Structure 1
Amino acid sequence: MPFHPPAAARACQDKYLARQLYRAAGMRVPEFFRATLAQDPHALAARASYPCVLKPLGLSGSRGVIRADNREEFAAAFRRIVRIGEHYVQVESYIPGREFAVEGLVTAGEFQPLAIFDKPDPLEGPFFEETIYVTPSREPADVQEALISTTARAVRALGLRHGPVHAELRYNQEGAWMLETHARPIGGLCARSLRFGAAMPLEELILRHAVGEDVSQAHLDGPASGVMMMPIPKGGIYQSVEGTDRAAAVPGVVDVIITAKEGQHLIPLPEGSSYLGFLFARADSPEEVERSLRQAHAELRFHIATALETLRPSNA
């Protein structure tokens, strides 16, 4: 079956290489440089412009991604990333603006958009935990077109040819900025927020595309849908949750899924990489979807116990 070339898929996983390819293609890119975590953080802090964002190159999602507004915050963020255990870090100028996700398919190098997700919660740092995705976008047509065309340019710059694409972008007064492009569909359980045609899930659409079916006319079941990735409010040991019945009864909510398990050690960002669970909603408008997700989340009460450090016995 046709798929993205291995070199293109690898470029999607390499933040440094991807930035180089975007710049070579004439796309907007922030100032950036790569460093090893063995280097002097104070020397690197003097090299950075502020505000900036430190991104470990070997981690996915928002794990280890930290904003710094000055040299002292840079050094503190750097030391925190060192403790996570990565080898390389990329330092980028912070890009202000609203953040979006674009979902689509690539056929013979041509990008076909499937959905634009608004992210209504500001992602301004110091950490960048995603919460709510809502589609269709409420942005004006020119902004949506800029997001789609920028994703298409990134697809060409990376050399992606055939298969799913999930992209993260920001938009400000200068236009659309590509953050990351992935040679895969949207992660976790979030794909459940998307249905096409006669309630076809995203995974089925991708498989049909992979075996050569024409899916160029695929369109979202409307009118609006969304997902909330429930963040971990504090570290500790997960015990239980109250209010799932009340959350499920909120108008518009179609599913409440708790993925945290009793006894699980919860680690929030930037060191952690998981969520407490997912909320899904469908309604007549994006505004109603967002409202349903927030109301359902407010009905939940998570019980998280303090995790005690294990003390080693004395040798005395």
Structure 2
Amino acid sequence: MQPQLLLISPSQSYRLAPYLAAAERLGVTLTIVSDSRYSLTREVANGILGEFAQPGPLIQSILKRAKNTPLVGVVATDDNTVELAARIATALELPSNSIASAALSRRKDLARSTLQAAGLPVPEHWQLDLTKAITPQLQGLPYPVVLKPISLSASRGVIRANTLDEAAVACETIRRIVATLNNPIERGTLLIERYLPGQEVALEGLLQHGRFTPLALFDKPDPLTGPYFEETYYITPSRLPESMQQQIEQTVAGACRAYGLHQGPVHAELRIDGEQVWILEIASRTIGGECSRSLDAVLARPLEEYVLAAAMGAPLPVERRMGASGVLMIPIPRAGVLRRIDGEEAVRKLPGIIDIRLSVAPGQVVETLPEASSYLGFIYSRADTPQLAEQALREAHQRLEITIDPLINR
């Protein structure tokens, strides 16, 4: 009998398909735990459906299923499922991060306090209560600052403010963005951080029995200075000095220990200012969107295979390939209605480009940051060096012609 794992995934997650493909290659059966009855994906329709925000009945359904179908592990696909996955794994008595550590990896306010108490490098920060008068809470801050929701990802709602007036406008923008969140604390609390200059990087890794194994360090070559922080290019391997790369890995491993994380994938975002490495985010999930495909060129196996094998207690040896790779998350240049994206076939023919995947259909309404939560698609490159991988993506981006009509107010 094939080993069976639970995959906790929103029905429309970008991450669902890569995990299903990885499970097939490994000979693993995945049972999908989803929040929608209206998915076209067969594995979702045949899985376990329930309400993520009120998981009691859902967990009972899973426990009932487990009596007849032994399960060996639980994996979360996205930020909004990591805490639920920990709850389910705890109920099933399967290896997992604790519920508290999973919550830390999702809640930026709790994470900042924990890391600061552990003596780890995080930006100076404050909390703002949206249910109280805003202006008094913004006085005396060391501008510029960055304001952000405490639980969203993909840079959604993250805004730099250089003055008190800009910060007040940012608060109202973020208030609209978080208004639909279920948790009242997440609707009513913002995090404010001192703005840090410098380069951003992302580190992908894996925890097994508390040991952190780095998989790939990505450079983000575009400057991320605000007012919004749209991520575009990810390039690996990093071009940073080896000593700095080791410092980054040690910093992330220390943060995982401070959180109490010991199992599963880790995606970390950091900023480097001179010789100082600052922690921006430590998430107990893989890299978001379809960006994991950029690792196929530098790892012997797809990222999801490493994650599933580790969840079963049978980790795979990490083998790396020569060369470099990159991914461009195609940015949305303006809000409106997408009419067409021309140049896809020209991009596919460019040297170094291995694929392009468009994810927004003509006729759809698209938004820009800080409201946006998605991209137009993804372009992937492979080359002998990081410089060439980046160059290929930049040329590919220039070949795309994106037509977006403005929304007409009625």
On the 8 A contact 2:207/2:213 being kept in 1, the answer is yes
Give the paired residue count. 309
Task: Give the structure 2 partner of residue 115 of structure 1.
Answer: 216
Task: Give the structure 1 partner of residue 229 of structure 2.
Answer: 128
- Superposition map of 1:1-316 within 5 A: 1=73, 2-84=95-177, 85=179, 86-195=187-296, 199-215=300-316, 217-310=317-410
On the 8 A contact 1:146/1:175 being kept in 2, the answer is no
Cα deviation, 1:264-287, whole Å, max 9, x if unaligned, reads 110100011110110000000000
Aligned amino acid, residue 341 of structure 2 = V
Cα deviation, 1:176-220, whole Å, max 9, x if unaligned, reads 1110000000010000011278842111111112112233x3133
Q: What is the distance in 2 between the residues matched to 1:118 and 1:198?
A: 17
Aligned amino acid, residue 120 of structure 2 = M
Q: What is the distance in 1 between the residues matched to 2:238 and 2:214?
A: 13
Report SS of the residue matched to 1:13.
coil
**Offset, 1:241:** 0.9
TM-score by length of 1: 0.94
Report SS of the residue matched to 2:105.
helix
Percent identical: 45
Aligned amino acid, residue 309 of structure 2 = R
Q: What is the distance in 2 between the residues matched to 1:262 and 1:60?
A: 25
- Alpha carbons of 1:197 and 1:244: their partners in 2 closer, same or farther (altered >3 Å)? closer
Aligned amino acid, residue 256 of structure 1 = I
On the 8 A contact 2:102/2:284 being kept in 1, the answer is yes
Which of 1 and 2 has higher RCO (CA within 8 Å, sep 6+)? 1
Instruction: Provide structure 1 residue ranges, at least 5 long, that are not aligned to the other structure.
Output: 311-316
Task: Give the structure 1 partner of residue 6 of structure 2.
Answer: none
Report SS of the residue matched to 1:294.
helix
Task: Give the structure 2 partner of residue 314 of structure 1.
Answer: none
On the 8 A contact 2:298/2:325 being kept in 1, the answer is no
On the 8 A contact 2:299/2:319 being kept in 1, the answer is no
Q: What is the distance in 1 between the residues matched to 2:306 and 2:271?
A: 27
Q: What is the distance in 1 between the residues matched to 2:264 and 2:167?
A: 38
TM-score by length of 2: 0.73
Q: What is the distance in 1 between the residues matched to 2:282 and 2:299?
A: 28
Q: What is the distance in 1 between the residues matched to 2:397 and 2:298?
A: 29
Q: Structure 1 residue runs of 4+, over 3 Å off?
A: 196-199
On the 8 A contact 2:198/2:272 being kept in 1, the answer is yes
- Alpha carbons of 1:177 and 1:159: their partners in 2 closer, same or farther (altered >3 Å)? same
On the 8 A contact 2:298/2:323 being kept in 1, the answer is no
On the 8 A contact 1:240/1:262 being kept in 2, the answer is yes
On the 8 A contact 2:292/2:303 being kept in 1, the answer is yes
Q: What is the distance in 2 between the residues matched to 1:222 and 1:133?
A: 17
Instruction: Provide structure 2 residue ranges, at least 5 long, that are not aligned to the other structure.
Output: 1-72, 74-94, 180-186
Q: What is the distance in 1 between the residues matched to 2:201 and 2:325?
A: 15
